[in-house]
A and B are shown apart, each in its own frame.
Chain A
């Protein structure tokens, strides 16, 4: 679990936050190259505006906010480039649900399936879910990070869980997430 700190030093900032930021970006974007780009951009932004970084409890949502924004920017850039290559959304392109759950189970382990299920969510739902279940932010902190009202965050989390509950990959694993916020076995 990462801890809060005052990022007065770039190396300290990198040491503490690079790995969680990278994994958050990977869960949001999926594409490794985009992830690398987004994380670099996030840390450059963080460092340039380090004087404005809050201290204490406010730091963590702030850092994730910068990471999420960098991911959105990277996704938009990639979408523009990808649209020239193929008429397909870059975020959706990284995940394919065409395969049956049985085939997927043969090819991937559980972690991979969970990741694919998350990546299959719409972009607007993915960030609250990742920030809630990976970064461990509260709904209020997520609201700060994605600049939405707590009520919006709550409804998006609800919708994300509902979609995951119906995702065949999680169903194949015997896991399901109920639409009312409680997980249930299927």
Chain B
């Protein structure tokens, strides 16, 4: 008589004798490579899978082709580049930040309208050379160097923070030494692009302007490229998802799933780039370098010729003595000792002679 457990063991033994792929890696490798597990697939199964595999390959190739065409079309449809000279006034900065037309792949240096002590530079560049009039995507950055009194340094930093906040921006980084021998530092503000000019104007009023430089980079083409790539990949993902729903084998399922994962990853990377770019376009970066006035040098009185000669003589004597002492220290010490001993002998002899003579007398 056998028990239920013994019969279960017997059935399990019969099942284990069936050559199923027990290694997970082997299963997956077989599924991915399209190799049937140790058993042989029936002609019916093969006939059923073969056309479906071909269909999947064909649709996959079509999806890839569509993606390439979409990218190519979107790139070729980018507007031609139009180059303009930047307006000759620093106040034209407002026009740049507002995304108005009037610049392209050009760079201009502008001077004037700014305190005479300061230097001003405005650069306008196009990232891809595909800028055109209308709906421009501009990244604007600026650098201001200010000299402020050391007692006002803390106040200026606070004011810069207030400027950023009042304009709807933020302080990106701040590194300022308020005490010590190297007072000063840098504050980087992020302000809405439309408020960039106002931020510059308010910031430069906080101290003595030493330098003002702004750069506007046209990234319209880059934005368009990214958008086209994301659209193409999203279309490809939709195709793959349709394939995924119709996959006829585990092999197809796995390969389509891997493709979807890969495409999804690419989409996420590009979308992250889009977000960064959008933030850079929306918020201009203004770097304010703060320094305190340098301490003036105290004038040193010019010595007279006599004084100069006297000092030289004293210096030479001191130097000579030092050298002599350094070079002949042992010899001098010996001479001193001999002299001392000689004096002792002399006085001792005289005392002894006086004593002897008194005795004799």
Instruction: Give A residues with C-beta under 8 Å from B.
Output: 10-11, 14-15, 18-19, 22-24, 26-27, 31-37, 40, 43-44, 47-48, 77-78, 81, 109-112, 114-115, 118, 129-130, 133-134, 136, 175, 177, 182-185
Contact = CB atoms under 8 A, between A and B. Distances in A.
B44 A23 contact: no
Interface string B297-322: 00000000000000000000000000
Contact of A14 (B6, B8, B28, B42): B28
A130 B42 contact: no
A183 B4 contact: yes
Contact of A183 (B2, B31, B48, B250): B2
B254 A10 contact: yes
Contacts of A23: 15-16, 18, 20
Q: How large is the interface on B (under 10, 10 to 19, 20 to 34, 35 or more residues)?
A: 35 or more
A35 B21 contact: no
B45 A37 contact: yes
B136 to A, nearest CB: 45
Contact of A40 (B7, B245, B249): B249
A78 B292 CA distance: 92
Given A11-B28, A15-B24, A112 B249 contact: no
Given A35-B39, A43-B250, A14 B31 contact: yes
A47 B251 CA distance: 13
B87 interface: no
A118 B17 CA distance: 14
Nearest to A27: B15
> What 7 pairs between A and B have smallest CB-CB spacing?
A33-B42, A15-B24, A32-B39, A22-B20, A183-B2, A111-B17, A114-B14
Contacts of A26: 15, 18, 20
B27 interface: yes
Interface in B244-276: 245, 247-250, 253-254, 257
B72 interface: no
B260 to A, nearest CB: 11
B12 interface: yes
What is the interface of chain A mostly: helix, strand, loop, or mixed?
A: helix
11 contacts: A22-B18, A23-B16, A27-B18, A31-B42, A37-B44, A114-B14, A133-B4, A134-B15, A136-B8, A177-B7, A183-B3
A52 B40 CA distance: 32
Contacts, number: 127
A14 B24 contact: yes
Given A37-B42, A37-B45, A183-B7, A27 B21 contact: no
Interface of B: 1-4, 6-8, 10-18, 20-22, 24, 27-28, 31, 36-37, 39-45, 48, 245, 247-250, 253-254, 257
A39 B12 CA distance: 19
A33 B14 contact: no
Given A33-B39, A33-B45, A37-B44, A185 B21 contact: no
Given A10-B253, A19-B20, A111-B13, 5 more contacts: A15-B28, A36-B42, A110-B13, A133-B7, A182-B1
A23 B14 CA distance: 9
B21 A19 contact: yes
A175 B2 contact: yes
A111 B9 CA distance: 10
A13 to B, nearest CB: 10
Contacts of B10: 110, 114, 175
A134 B24 contact: no
Given A44-B248, A185-B2, A33 B15 contact: no
A112 B253 contact: no
A27 B44 CA distance: 20
A133 B11 contact: yes
A139 to B, nearest CB: 12
